[in-house]
A and B are shown apart, each in its own frame.
Chain A
Amino acid sequence: MSFLNKLGIGVGAGAGAAHGAPRAMGSSGRPRTNGPVPVAAVGAARAPEPHEANRISNGLKEFLWNLDGLGRGTLLDLGPAWQTTLSFFIERGFRVSSEDILRAWKDFLVEEEGKLREATGRAAQHTLDVSPAARAMRFLEANLQYPNSSFDAILLWDLLDYLEPLVAKQMVANLTELLRPGGVVFAMFHSKKPEGFQRYRVVDPTTLQVISSPVLCPAQRVYQNREIQDLFSRYRTVKSFVGRDQLRESLFIK
């Protein structure tokens, strides 16, 4: 078992003995699946067949409402570069920047593990500070490098659940700097530890496609409402939508 896995943050450590992903539900509570119910991603060893399901997203609807009339806005998408999502916003006049933070986090952890192994080989552990704070700083120095007030909107998805708490906290602080006053963040939080690993893409103004994917990073923690408010304490408005699929959608307006 690798050092990072021992710490519980290693790449490929399963998010738990998960069997059966949550059904994608609409706000009405009825299943809104498009095809078979997604099967959970159970650890990296068993890559699931990609399954897709649609879920009604009041958060997305509200997010778009807040951006209505913005004209040529700027959007930062921190999920994978999906054609549908990029096209959706580009068609609406947005200039879109894309950066898959979870993939970057996974790559970063692999790189850190390599460095650590190298340092251990040279009996010089002290050369690499492996404390969470130092790791958070190293990760954020290499990612999200944009000028302040660059974006009108940020799609954060559910990635905070998968980052180390210190990285998540510092990242939210950095994102706040990148957002213009009045800018909007769309984030999602799992109400309980996610059983699978899912990515999301925009289908239409009220629908997200939920795609079960191989686990990139194990979930790190479940945020309670109070903790979410603390994370986004610099935002003037917070709006949340709770779904029956254990997913809370939140909008934060700076």
Chain B
Amino acid sequence: MWKKEDIKSQGLPENSPGNPTAVPVLVGNAPRETGTGLPASSKGSASISQGIRIKGEVTGSEDLFVDGQVDGKVNLSNGCLTVGPNGEVKADIFAREVIVRGRVDGKIVGREKIQLWSTGNVAGDLQTERLTIEDGAVLRGRVEIETGKPVDKHTEARGAAAGTSKGGPVSVSSGSAAD
């Protein structure tokens, strides 16, 4: 579980004057509904709410929803990181799955999957097995698709929920030339 103690153990400053981090980290349930009416997270997860800024390394093994600001490094070995529509992450991200609906400035390693929603804006390299990019998402960086697993090409239909049109999100796992 991603806990407040995890942050302490990483040596993050708490409420230090003059430090914008002032880490009043909210550890509780993430908002289940967001401005777009879409679920922010599939299950109760820790959240860094809008207005909160953390500077340093965030480590954990469960899901995390970030709608505030994080500067440094995010490492969720087995969890899913969701950067909400108001979230701004200036950090390298390592997680099982990463969903970007806000801004990320840094490298993203999503072991199983990375999703860029239409409001997502990423400046940094992406490394994953499966990548989903919704129309309107902005990406500035290199895409590395992991080739560890056999080629498995399939199409996802998240269009109904995301309101995308034809040519919307298609998820592709790729290893070698498909043709």
Contacts and interface: CB of A to CB of B under 8 A. Distances in A.
Given A52-B167, A83-B170, A92 B133 contact: no
A222 B134 CA distance: 32
Interface in A80-95: 80-84, 86-87, 90-93, 95
Contact of A92 (B144, B167, B178): B178
Contact of A83 (B169, B174, B177, B179): B169
B133 A90 contact: no
Interface in A52-101: 52, 80-84, 86-87, 90-93, 95-100
B174 A82 contact: no
A213 B91 CA distance: 32
A20 interface: no
A99 B179 contact: no
Contacts of A104: 140
Contact of B167 (A81, A91, A98, A209): A209
Nearest to B121: A103
A91 B154 CA distance: 12
A91 B131 contact: no
A100 B122 CA distance: 11
A50 interface: yes
A82 B131 CA distance: 11
B142 A97 contact: yes
A98 B140 CA distance: 5
B116 A50 contact: no
Contacts of A23: none
Contacts of A50: 165
B105 to A, nearest CB: 14
Contacts of B112: none
Nearest to B132: A83
A201 B167 contact: yes
Given A91-B172, A91-B174, A83 B167 contact: yes
B177 A84 contact: no
Contacts of B165: 50, 52
A18 to B, nearest CB: 23
Nearest to A98: B139
- For B132, B139, B168, the residue with the greatest tally of chain A CB atoms inside 10 Å of its CB is B139
A57 to B, nearest CB: 16
Contact of A95 (B137, B139, B142, B176): B142
Interface string B130-171: 011111011111111100000001000000000001111110
B149 to A, nearest CB: 14
Contacts of B169: 83
A104 B178 CA distance: 32
B138 A97 contact: no
Contact of B143 (A52, A90, A103, A209): A90
Contact of A86 (B135, B138, B143): B143
A7 B118 CA distance: 32
Contacts of B134: 83
A80 B141 CA distance: 12
Contacts of A84: 167, 170
Given A81-B137, A83-B132, A103-B138, A95 B168 contact: no
- For B165, B167, B174, B179, the residue with the greatest tally of chain A CB atoms inside 10 Å of its CB is B167
Contacts of A92: 177-179
- For A52, A84, A103, the residue with the greatest tally of chain B CB atoms inside 10 Å of its CB is A84
Q: Sorted from nearest, which 9 A-B pairs have the closest CB atoms?
A: A81-B139, A91-B178, A87-B172, A83-B133, A97-B142, A98-B139, A96-B143, A83-B170, A93-B177
Interface of B: 116, 131-135, 137-145, 153, 165-170, 172, 174, 176-179
22 contacts: A52-B166, A81-B116, A81-B133, A82-B133, A82-B135, A82-B167, A83-B131, A83-B168, A83-B169, A83-B172, A84-B170, A86-B131, A91-B178, A91-B179, A92-B178, A93-B176, A95-B142, A96-B142, A98-B143, A100-B140, A103-B138, A201-B167
